[in-house]
């Protein structure tokens, strides 16, 4: 690494990190090291499509090395950052490897929280990574296979009950899609399952689904889900989750398929940054995303509490915020590091956020969304959702394969990604002699 170049470490190659690097790396005066515990960028808004067996991981994930191949001044390190020594300006990986920096950009995102009930995780996986999506998919597909062997005996019910906890966009998307699997796919492929016994519950602690959305769209979402056969339980608190199912208030629902789509907390690496944090652990940053008292450290995306607008409200933890922040910081630092600007009194352009609105899909041809006060629902909202998601996928091959999968899926109702990797665990209750 050249001595007179600015040495920048970026922790996290997600929406914010990659967009930042792609701008900053245009400046040849900078050497960048991307440290990520995964080797690929994941398009999280479509993770649930892997979980519900519509898409394969390759459709929504691309290797960092591939995306950044054209930038000779970027090095990718697959490693897990466990600590930041802000005095020595070093990032420490879990095995003790050290990387020193002049400037550090932390974009490590968030993961789910079980609000202090960490033992629930083994029974109710959340959806944040490719591995999570495959765990959910594997459990769901195996449940259908077990239910087919149990057919009419009462133990089958546990494998045919699906409980999604959390009525935000992810919970709504998963619940709607599971309902469609049951009505459109299972009926064609299974012979003994009594489809009428399959039940999907969507549980939300607040009085309405999609809490940040206008009331009319929340109501429309509820109606659309109920039409698909989903039982929506709002104002309902989960009290316990174990291997048998979920306790919701007075009611116990037996289920082998509990999916956690509630609650976010920032990645643990933010603990090593000594700064003011909000309740979700997000670091309260300055207007240029730097950490107060650490002008050389910047936080972007889900890990940043960035107060914006007249009311100084923190921006949402969503992809479009992370992308815009990443691009802004990449361009801003690139200017700061450029030789011409260094010599003059340089003033950064302020960050301007363009609010692209909200969109959530409920099932095939059904979605809700709003943009600058205009509300969309039904097919139009679903169409916009599809175009937006295809547009933001990285890589021509990914866009093409997702489009093809969607066309085949929507016309035929088939789900291509239905391979169960593990062999069956014979914990299925004994049924009878099959004829």
Ligand X SMILES: Cc1cc2nc3c(=O)[nH]c(=O)nc-3n(C[C@H](O)[C@H](O)[C@H](O)COP(=O)(O)OP(=O)(O)OC[C@H]3O[C@@H](n4cnc5c(N)ncnc54)[C@H](O)[C@@H]3O)c2cc1C
Q: Which residues bind ligand X (CB under 6 A)?
A: 11-17, 35-38, 44-45, 47-48, 80-81, 107-109, 127-128, 169-170, 267, 269, 301-303, 317-320, 322
Which residue among the candidates 173, 180, 204, 405 is catalytic per the annotation? 173
In whole angstroms, the minimum distance from the beta carbon of 90 to ligand X comes to 14
Other CB atoms within a 10 A radius of the CB of residue 230 amount to 23
In whole angstroms, the minimum distance from the beta carbon of 214 to ligand X comes to 17
In whole angstroms, the minimum distance from the beta carbon of 188 to ligand X comes to 28
Which of 109, 281 has the CB closer to ligand X? 109
Residue that is written with structure tokens 């765990």 in the block: 135
Which of 318, 403 has the CB closer to ligand X? 318
Which of 97, 194 has the CB closer to ligand X? 97
Which of 17, 245 has the CB closer to ligand X? 17
In whole angstroms, the minimum distance from the beta carbon of 183 to ligand X comes to 23
In whole angstroms, the minimum distance from the beta carbon of 212 to ligand X comes to 12
Give 368's strand partners: 360, 377
Which of 8, 198 has the CB closer to ligand X? 8
In whole angstroms, the minimum distance from the beta carbon of 124 to ligand X comes to 15
Which of 110, 246 has the CB closer to ligand X? 110
Which of 129, 231 has the CB closer to ligand X? 129
HEC assignment per residue over the chain? CCCCCEEEEEECCCHHHHHHHHHHCCCCCEEEEEEECCCEEECHHHHHHHHCCCCCHHHHEEEHHHHCCCCCCEEEEECCEEEEECCCCEEEECCCCEEECCEEEECCCEEECCCCCHHHCCCCCECCCHHHHHHHHHHHHHHHHHHHHHCCCCCHHHHHEEEEECCCHHHHHHHHHHHHHHHHHHHHHCCCCCHHHCEEEEECCCCCCCCCCCHHHHHHHHHHHHHCCEEEECCCCEEEEECCEEEECCEEEECCEEEECCCEEECHHHHHCCCCECCCCCEECCCCCEECCEEEEEECHHHEECEECCCCEECCCCHHHHHHHHHHHHHHHHHHHCHHHHHCCCCCCCCCCCCCCEEEEEECCEEEEEECCEEEEHHHHHHHHHHHHHHHCCCHHHHHHHHHHHHHHHHHCCCCCCCCCCCCCCCCCCCCCCC
Residue 209 · residue 232 · CB < 8 Å? yes
Which backbone phi and psi does 254 adopt, to 5 degrees?
Answer: -70, 125
In whole angstroms, the minimum distance from the beta carbon of 220 to ligand X comes to 17
Question: Exposed, middle or buried by CB within 10 Å (0-12, 13-18, 19+), for 65?
Answer: middle
In whole angstroms, the minimum distance from the beta carbon of 435 to ligand X comes to 43
Which of 160, 174 has the CB closer to ligand X? 174
The structure tokens listed for 160 are 């045919």
Active site residue 173: yes
Active-site residues: which are they? 173
């Amino acid at each position: 690494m050249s001595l007179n170049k600015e040495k920048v470490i970026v922790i996290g190659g997600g929406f914010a990190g990659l967009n930042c690097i792609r701008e900053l790396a245009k400046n040849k005066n900078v050497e960048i090291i991307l440290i990520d515990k995964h080797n690929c960028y994941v398009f999280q808004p479509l993770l649930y499509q892997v979980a519900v067996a519509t898409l394969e991981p390759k459709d929504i994930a691309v290797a960092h090395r591939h995306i950044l191949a054209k930038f000779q001044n970027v090095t990718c390190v697959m490693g897990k950052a466990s600590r930041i020594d802000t005095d020595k300006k070093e990032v420490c990986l879990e095995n003790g490897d050290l990387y020193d920096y002049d400037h550090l950009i932390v974009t490590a995102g968030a993961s789910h929280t079980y609000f202090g009930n960490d033992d629930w995780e083994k029974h109710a996986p959340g959806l944040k990574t490719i591995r999570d999506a495959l765990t959910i998919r594997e459990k769901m597909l195996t449940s259908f296979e077990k239910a087919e062997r149990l057919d009419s005996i009462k133990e089958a019910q546990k494998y045919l009950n699906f409980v999604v906890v959390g009525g935000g966009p992810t919970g709504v998307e998963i619940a709607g899609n599971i309902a469609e699997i049951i009505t459109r796919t299972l009926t064609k492929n299974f012979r003994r399952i009594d489809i009428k016994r399959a039940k999907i519950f969507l549980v939300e602690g607040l009085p309405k689904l999609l809490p940040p959305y206008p009331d009319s769209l929340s109501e429309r979402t509820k109606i659309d889900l109920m039409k698909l056969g989903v039982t929506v339980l709002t104002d309902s608190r989960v009290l316990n989750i174990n291997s048998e199912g979920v306790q919701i208030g007075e009611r116990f629902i037996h289920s082998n398929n509990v999916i956690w789509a509630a609650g976010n907390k920032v990645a643990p690496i933010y603990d090593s940054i000594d700064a003011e944090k909000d309740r979700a652990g997000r670091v309260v940053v300055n207007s240029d995303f730097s950490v107060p008292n650490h002008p050389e450290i910047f936080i972007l995306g889900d890990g940043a509490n960035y107060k914006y607008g007249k009311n100084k409200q923190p921006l949402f933890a969503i992809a479009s915020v992370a992308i815009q922040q990443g691009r802004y910081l990449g361009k801003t630092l690139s200017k700061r590091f450029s030789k011409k600007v260094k010599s003059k009194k340089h003033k950064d352009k302020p960050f301007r956020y363009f609010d692209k609105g909200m969109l959530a899909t409920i099932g095939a041809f059904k979605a809700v969304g709003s943009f600058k006060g205009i509300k969309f629902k039904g097919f139009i909202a679903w169409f916009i959702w599809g175009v937006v998601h295809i547009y933001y996928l990285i890589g021509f091959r990914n866009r093409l394969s997702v489009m093809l999968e969607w066309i085949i899926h929507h016309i035929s109702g088939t789900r291509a990604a239905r391979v169960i990797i593990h062999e069956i665990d014979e914990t299925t209750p004994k049924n009878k002699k099959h004829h």
